[in-house]
Amino acid sequence: GQNIDQPTEMTATEGAIVQINCTYQTSGFNGLFWYQQHAGEAPTFLSYNVLDGLEEKGRFSSFLSRSKGYSYLLLKELQMKDSASYLCVSDNYGQNFVFGPGTRLSVLP
């Protein structure tokens, strides 16, 4: 089966660091996306990991461990505009993308 788990909600303070975890069990796994979705808007691409390890892109970093079926998205120097849902998405060979339920992050002043 295809299953992706991530926390439903998280809260953090402006300027802080937050880590959003994702575990997946998907067949034919190729790589893992992270998307950001603000309320009422379409998802937008943040990152894509194929190899194990950490990939850094500005304030956002994404980590993948294929052997553990685990990924996380790290957001540094949080800003109010980072309040959004973060979607963990599995990319699978010959199949469609599988989206996790999303983690709604609230950044407080």
Partner 1 sequence: KAGVTQTPRYLIKTRGQQVTLSCSPISGHRSVSWYQQTPGQGLQFLFEYFSETQRNKGNFPGRFSGRQFSNSRSEMNVSTLELGDSALYLCASTSLGGQGDEQYFGPGTRLTVT
Inter-residue contact 32 to 91 (CB < 8 Å): yes
Nearer to partner 1, 51 or 67 (CB): 51
Total residues contacting partner 1 by CB under 8 A comes to 21
Closest contact distance (angstroms) between CB of 92 and partner 1 is 9
Query: Does residue 93 touch partner 1 according to CB under 8 A?
Result: yes
Nearer to partner 1, 69 or 100 (CB): 100
Give the distance, in angstroms, between the CA of residue 92 and the centroid of all CA atoms in the same chain.
Answer: 16
Query: Does residue 97 touch partner 1 according to CB under 8 A?
Result: yes
Nearer to partner 1, 15 or 28 (CB): 28
Question: Which of 23, 61, 83, 95 is in the footprint of partner 1 by CB under 8 A?
Answer: 95
Nearer to partner 1, 34 or 72 (CB): 34
C-alpha to C-alpha distance for 72 and 21, rounded to whole angstroms: 4
C-alpha to C-alpha distance for 6 and 20, rounded to whole angstroms: 7
Query: Does residue 96 touch partner 1 according to CB under 8 A?
Result: yes
Question: Which of 15, 45, 79, 106 is in the footprint of partner 1 by CB under 8 A?
Answer: 45
| DSSP notation for 21-58 | EEEEE-TTEEEEEEEEE-TTS--EEEEEE-SSEEEEET
Q: Which residues contact 14 (CB under 8 A, 6 or more apart)?
A: 78, 79, 80, 107, 108, 109
